[in-house]
Structure 1
Amino acid sequence: MENDAKCAALAELWLGSIKDKKDAIVLILGSAIGGGIIIDGKLHRGANLSAGEVSYINHRFNPETKEVGYFGLDCSAVEMVKKISKLKNLKDETDGEAVFEYINSGDEQAMEVFDTYCNLIAIQILNLHYVIDPELIAIGGGISAQPILIERINQAIDEIKKVNDFHVATPHIVACHFLNDANLYGALYHFEQSRKEE
């Protein structure tokens, strides 16, 4: 058994964007954020199988109530699409293609929400980069088919680095080769590997 994000990482390691990379990170942007970490050419699961579960990263903290904001919930691609859908009064609030028509056309309201989203992703990419120092970070999920996503995340990283002098990381970010189907290819790869081990 393997979860969808780990399967996506396996697919990209097998035949995709991180093939032949020793150290890499795969982030799957969807209803939450799935992750897979590759160390020394292998999927790293951790002592309790929680390595790469980036949705649980805390990126907001209230010192009075001790409540946190979770990266996966605050940076849900689905929720970002819903926000823009509501602003533009779309009938189907999950219509990502319609939302990206607004984003790609430079609509001011859509871009404000999208840029905030990309900034939050960029901050955590920098954090992850300092922990793992990967050769490559691959972004998957349905929205990874939109070239503007990687473009805006890279732009956000550059802007953050300009304002914060301590940042020295320069993450290399690409879209997953298998895009939204990576988990399916990874499940096949995991199944084949499991059969070899029997």
Structure 2
Amino acid sequence: MKEYTAFDIGGSFIKYGIVTENGDLREQDKMETPDSFEVLIQRITDIVHRHPDSTGIAVSAPGAVSDEGIIYGISALRYLHGPNIKHRLEEKTGLPVLIENDGNCAGAAEIWQGTAQGKKDVLTVVIGTGIGGTVIKEGRTHKGANLHGGEFGFMLLGNPDTGRLESWSQLAATRALTRYAEREKGVEADTLTGEQVFELADEGDPVCVKAVDRFYRFLALGLYNLQYIYDPELILIGGGVSAREELVRCINEKLDDLLREAPVGTIRPALDVCHFRQYANLLGAVYRFIQNTPASWMNNM
């Protein structure tokens, strides 16, 4: 059975492990993210050399990742942007390398082994301090002309509180939830966490009840729009908020309201939560490797 060495590059840590062609994750571990590009390449190379049976290297990375192996855009690791990481790793290891955007990797994991198995047209929406995600059409990731496919957080919506257009991230990410609650309570910024706002709402705090209600309303608005833009079979929700048992039910209640308010739209988004959490990017990177590595490479391994 073929095995692949997978890496998930984050701002603070790099997760890594051995993933089989069947999607089994073995020997997972992590290391602190190096502070330079050359050290990063050497650390990855050292780990790969410790696993001589590896068929290839699959890397999940932040930023706008091109097929050629160059990462554009911005991220917490500035040294990633510019060098051709794919070529450098292939030269150092002699193995084929695939590098993919971390959000796209998470979506690929869901198609391969997660909630979206058997589906062809799926969106993943990852909700954190901002909102990102993945567009999967015909079972393959759609990156877009500018490598910004799935950057749903840039969608503009009207904010009834200000009368201005704001991005979906500004209105429906967890940071938006806490900012609204802090402002309405008159407390300093960064006083509350998203989890605290939800807990206070569960206890009946009127400000937090309104903040959570508003949060679900804006989530439903964005998901309604995405349904009509892409018409996916399924929309999966990820990020820390996806652990809340009531999440899908509450969003569906807001979708009921929207469908009554705008009866011209009758298609309800099919919602579910992502199956994978901390290891999704490792699995998804390997699945993208299997999908995209030329057979000529693989036949010579």
TM range (shorter): 0.7 to 0.9
Kindly indicate whether structure 1 or structure 2 has the higher relative contact order, using CA contacts under 8 Å at least 6 residues apart.
Answer: 1
1:4 aligns with 2:102: yes
Aligned residues: 193
Instruction: State the distance in 1 between where 2:278 and 2:216 align.
Output: 19
Q: Give the residue type in structure 2 aligned to 1:27.
A: V
Structure with greater helix percent = 1
Larger radius of gyration: 2
**CA deviations over 1:159-179 (Å, ceiling 9, x no partner):** 111122212111110111114
Q: Residue deviations 1:79-107, cap 9 Å, x none?
A: 31344367396996353333332233443
Looking at structure 2, the residues matched to 28 and 175 of structure 1 have their Cα atoms a distance apart, in angstroms, of: 10
Verify: 1:20 aligned to 2:118, yes or no. Answer: yes
Q: Which has the higher strand share?
A: 2
Hey, what does 1:178 align to over in structure 2? 276
Taking only aligned residues, the RMSD between alpha carbons, in angstroms, comes to 2.8
CA distance in 2, matches of 1:18, 1:119: 25
Give 2:141's match in structure 1, choosing from 40, 43, 51.
43
Gaps of 5+ in 1: 62-66
Structure 2 equivalent of residue 123 of structure 1: 221
> 1:142-157 maps to which residues of 2 (within 5 A)?
142-157=240-255
Identity %: 34
1:69 is aligned to 166
What do residues 105-130 of structure 1 show as CA deviations (whole Å, max 9, x unaligned)?
Answer: 44322121111111111111111111
Q: Which residue of 1 aligns with 2:200?
A: 102
In 1: Cα distance, 2:193 partner to 2:106 partner: 23
CA distance in 2, matches of 1:73, 1:175: 22
1:126–1:44 Cα change, 3 Å: same
Q: TM-score, normalised by structure 1?
A: 0.83
Name 1:169's counterpart in structure 2.
Answer: 267
Which secondary structure state, in structure 1, belongs to the residue aligned with residue 235 of structure 2? strand
Give me the TM-score of the superposition, normalised by structure 2: 0.57
1: CA distance between counterparts of 2:219 and 2:189?
27
CA 1:81/1:189 → structure 2, altered by over 3 Å: closer, same or farther?
farther
Provide closer, same or farther for how the CA distance between residues 181 and 107 of structure 1 changes in structure 2, counting only shifts above 3 A: farther
Q: Deviation digits for residues 51-89 of structure 1, max 9, x if unmatched?
A: 22111112239xxxxx74211222221231344367396
CA distance in 2, matches of 1:89, 1:74: 19
Residues 179/122 of structure 1: CA separation in 2 closer, same or farther (3 Å cut):
farther
User: Matches of 1:143 and 1:180 in 2, distance apart?
Assistant: 14
The structure-2 alpha-carbon separation of the partners of 1:188 and 1:111, relative to structure 1 and needing over 3 Å to count, comes to farther
Q: Which stretch has the larger CA shift, 6-15 or 181-190? A: 181-190
CA contact (8 A) 1:5 1:27 kept: no
Where does residue 64 of structure 1 map in the other structure? none
